[in-house]
Amino acid sequence: MDQPTAIVTGGSRGIGRAIATELAKTHRVIATYRARKDAADALRNQTGCDIFQCEISSREDRAALLVFARQRFEKLDLLVNNAGMAPRERRDLLDATEESFDELIWTNLKGPHFLTQQAARWMAEAAGGGAGRIAFVTSISAYTASVNRGEYCISKAALSMSVALYAQRLAEVGIKVFEIRPGIIRTDMIAKVEKAYDEKIAAGLLPQRRMGEPSDVAKAVRAIADGLLDYSTGQVLNVDGGFSLRSL
């Protein structure tokens, strides 16, 4: 019962799966999934994580997730806001649709923003308080303009501000909040453009000339989960192979 607890959204595949797998070594974990129950079942069988179907953009699903978590856990130590999506179709900024914009804002911004609100209230209720940690997985797209997926960039830039707001608000109750900004990570999300990214990396796009792996992001979450960054609330962890560096 003393084992720490964690919720990882979007935990069945890619970055989320690597995070859930890493945390399961030390935490009791609930990993959410949207549609791929087969992948979620495989994660559960491999790691012992609980799984829960949750459309993060749905108010009802978010509430149901917290009800489930409260039934499983006496307290929540860590929330990892990882669930997100890319546009279903990359379109030039002048051709992008409002439907795609709305879908990404609801999934990538509104969902994690309001899930954090609920989770933070629970953390603050815990005896003594001060034990909670929250990590948001955003993207280098929070500050890097890609005109063929503008709605994605906007959603991640806004989510980055959500991190800053929650870090400021929750510091007084001892809850630490962090932003993890992955760069080019080898996942299903970039499968269609993976070759192009590999070529750009080989040509010098990244100082560290390799694509990132989901495990690289999971290691950053591990540092947060273990309390190694507890005096650094609000900080951005760039897991990007040096992409954020500027040089002449």
Q: Hey, where are the domains in the chain?
A: 5-239
How far apart are alpha carbons 89 and 97 in whole angstroms? 10
30-53 residue pLDDT tens: 999 998 899 999 999 999 999 999
Tokens read off for 213:
């792996």
- Record the pTM: 0.95
Backbone angles phi, psi at 45, to 5 degrees: -65, -35
Q: Which of 33, 143, 152, 231 is catalytic?
A: 152
Fold (CATH) for 5-239:
Rossmann fold (3.40.50)
Residue 191 has pLDDT above 90, yes or no: no
143 is catalytic: no
Mean pLDDT for the stretch of residues 105-134: 91
Select from 136, 39, 2 the least CA-distant residue to 79.
136
Burial of 82 (0-12, 13-18, 19+ CB in 10 A): buried
- What whole-number distance in Å separates Cα of residue 167 and Cα of residue 236? 11
